[in-house]
Amino acid sequence: MLLVALLIGLSVHGAQSMGYQWKWEKVTRYLYRIADGELIWGPLMKGLFVTLDIAWKAAVLSLVIGLTAAVLRLSGSVVARALVWTYVEVIRNTPLLVQILIFYFIIAAILGIPRLWAGIVCLAFYEGAFAAEIIRGAIVAVKKGQHEAAQSLGFPSHYLYRDIILPQAVPLMLPPLGGVLVNLVKHSAIVSVIAVYDLTTQARTVISDTFMAFEIWLTVAAMYLVITISLSLLVFWLERRYRLR
């Protein structure tokens, strides 16, 4: 909170030193307006809805990708382990911006994937690489004796993970996975480079029309902050719930 207050203070000081005239009263119209008794969302709220749509879809896909990659990395297949290792290393060691541009202009263009889904899939694979290592670490942290006991009793692999390993691994992976999901929300702003009309793109459009850079960017920052803090609180609640079991 101190950092947020410091950033706001610096923004206000910078604006005042430039003789900037604040126009906060005009921000509301870009959030919503009421016409003939009907609520009409402004461009910033429309962008927020697109951002939330991207975030939840990419989050689900990234968790599925991460879990699948983690299980394959721990499997007995040399080929599967090598493929997952390559995927994780390539994703983690190249910039997200480069990945999304390559995916959109080459892969998505060849396969005919819409730009919105191109952004979602690229974000999912990017965050999925980090989720894979977190999930793998949590699974490995479960005592090896439980793996061996379940296998000696003839448990199939999917039952072993579903009924024994994952219930114990979930409390270990929740905090770092929460960080991955928060990063996903923040990284979703990068889809603006492929002209997806998310919150960041809408903000840039509004600023180009109104020149209200300070007001709009501070409003957008507050909107992202509300999303990420809400997500962090949800993860904290889930973590406490698992501890009480």
pLDDT band per the 50, 70, 90 thresholds, residue 196: very high
DSSP output for 87-149: HHHHHHTS-HHHHHHHIIIIIIHHHT--HHHHHHHHHHHHHHHHHHHHHHHHHHHS-HHHHHH
Domain ranges of the chain: 44-244
* CATH number among 1.10.3720.10, 3.90.550.10, 3.40.50.261, 2.40.40.20, domain 44-244: 1.10.3720.10
Predicted TM-score of the model (pTM): 0.86
Take residue 68 and report the two structure tokens written for it. 């699948």
- pLDDT at residue 21, rounded to an integer: 79
- pLDDT at residue 141, rounded to an integer: 84
Rounded Cα gap, residues 155 and 133, in angstroms: 25
Q: What is the mean pLDDT of residues 88-99?
A: 96
CA 14 from centroid of its chain's CA atoms: 31
- pLDDT at residue 136, rounded to an integer: 92
Take residue 222 and report the two structure tokens written for it. 């507050």
Residue 39, class by beta-carbon neighbours within 10 Å (0-12 exposed, 13-18 middle, 19+ buried)?
A: exposed
- pLDDT at residue 148, rounded to an integer: 65
Q: What is the mean pLDDT of residues 36-43?
A: 91
Give Rg (Cα) of the chain. Answer: 22
Q: Do 185 and 234 form a contact (C-beta atoms < 8 A)?
A: no
Residue type, 194: I
Cite the DSSP H helix spans in the chain. Answer: 2-17, 43-73, 78-92, 96-102, 109-111, 115-141, 144-152, 157-159, 166-187, 199-210, 213-244
**Tens-digit pLDDT profile for residues 136-145:** 998 888 766 6
Rounded Cα gap, residues 97 and 39, in angstroms: 36
Q: Is the pLDDT of residue 66 over 70?
A: yes
pLDDT band per the 50, 70, 90 thresholds, residue 188: very high
